[in-house]
Structure 1
Amino acid sequence: MPGATEQKIIDAAVRLFAAQGYDATSVQEIVAAAEVTKGALYHYFRAKDDLLFEIYRLLITSQSADMDRIIGLGLPAAETVREILVSLVVSTAERVDETAVFVRELQRLGEERMAEFRAERRRYHETFLAVIEKGQADGEFSSVVPADTVVRIAFGVVNQLPMWYRPDGAKPPAVLAREIADFVLAGLR
């Protein structure tokens, strides 16, 4: 977890990147919004794109840890799917600006960071896929829809949240998360 100063810088970057875009945001604007010096920013981040990567890294690290914790509980497949989806939707909705910034600015990552991003995302997908496949193999889920299609549909919905979800909207994250999990599980039964 970042320290207080580092978190202030990250939070300022998220707000500015979300409001005006990565290219339109200067390092000077970030340090002014964070109320730190340029030296403080460069102490934690070599360049502005390091901030972008850190926004993603913190989000995916938290989501992966939640998924690993849920799988470690050894619940039946349906409960595992429900818990993973609820956790993923809630964390995405609660951090919708971070998610939106990262999705919109993903192409800014260099080759090495893009490879790291893809590897962690693949691990998340493959772990969730294994839960669905096991549920299908054990007869808990229908096999009518292939597991990889279920994963693509579920994550496709989550990946689109930044496009339409509004924190001040009618549904709080927990309600939306339960509804999405119910939808996916209904398709698996």
Structure 2
Amino acid sequence: MKPKSLEAKNKIIDAALELMQQQGYEGMTVEEIITAANISVGTFYHYFKSKADILQEAFRTMDKYFEEYVVGKLGDEHSSIDRITQFFHHYALHTTTVGIDNIRSIYSMNNPMFKTKRQMEVFLEDIIHDGQAKGEITTSIPAEEIRRYFFILIRGVIFDWCVHAGSYNLEEEVNKYIKIQINAFKPLSSDISNKIQT
């Protein structure tokens, strides 16, 4: 994308995020975004079909952050347990950086990104598969299901953080619950005996 095009797109995203902080996702209209970004209607619809697309772009930014920054830090020289813990540490860190008002807007039943399997989720699933192969995580539950458990848990913690207006440290709370959940996915004795037999 050319620099001027990228600048226009970023103006739209920034204006939308600012409006979401002020009045929430549901209260924000495309017309208000266009006015706040000081762009034409045609420019908006050149980049986005609707305001929902802007939310998707915000999620893609998080995926890009994980792909470019986090993946390199979580190499397979570390145990899968450490990698999962660090994965969610970065998830919480990025969430607090986005800001509680924006997160409140994003955590909507109308957000289609909660219904799709994103790249960062694929990355976590790969870590879980690796942990199962190394005998660090139970094989009695499919990796995809374990990944889903983790995201249900963490989204619940983030929702609670939003409800309590960010009154506690999200990174510490996420770390606490991830450690508890990881213990539930450690290998069972049946996993170990199956591994010995094979």
- For the 8 Å contact 1:93–1:165, the answer to whether it is kept is no
CA distance in 2, matches of 1:162, 1:174: 10
1:180 deviation in Å? 2.8
Alignment correspondent of 1:183: 180
Superposition TM-score, scaled by structure 2 size = 0.66
- For the 8 Å contact 2:25–2:106, the answer to whether it is kept is no
Instruction: Percent identity, please.
Output: 19
Which consecutive unaligned segments of at least 5 residues does structure 2 have? 187-198
Q: Deviations 1:146-188 (Å, cap 9, x if unpaired)?
A: 4333211111122335532238533223212321331232223
Residue 103 to residue 64, structure 1, CA distance change in 2 (3 Å): farther
Aligned alpha-carbon RMSD (Å): 3.6
CA distance in 2, matches of 1:94, 1:70: 19
1:61 and 2:70 aligned: no
Within-5 A mapping of 1:102-181:
102-104=106-108, 105-107=110-112, 118=116, 121=118, 123-143=119-139, 145-166=141-162, 168-181=165-178
RCO higher in structure (CA 8 A, sep ≥6): 1
Runs of 4+ in 1 over 6 A off after TM superposition: 2-5
Which consecutive unaligned segments of at least 5 residues does structure 1 have? 108-113
Q: Deviations 1:92-126 (Å, cap 9, x if unpaired)?
A: 3432544544452434xxxxxx8xx946x1x4333
Superposition TM-score, scaled by structure 1 size = 0.68
Larger Rg: 2
1:30 and 2:30 aligned: no
Supply the AA of the counterpart residue of 1:128.
Answer: L
Aligned positions, number: 177
Residue 101 to residue 169, structure 1, CA distance change in 2 (3 Å): closer
- For the 8 Å contact 1:132–1:147, the answer to whether it is kept is yes
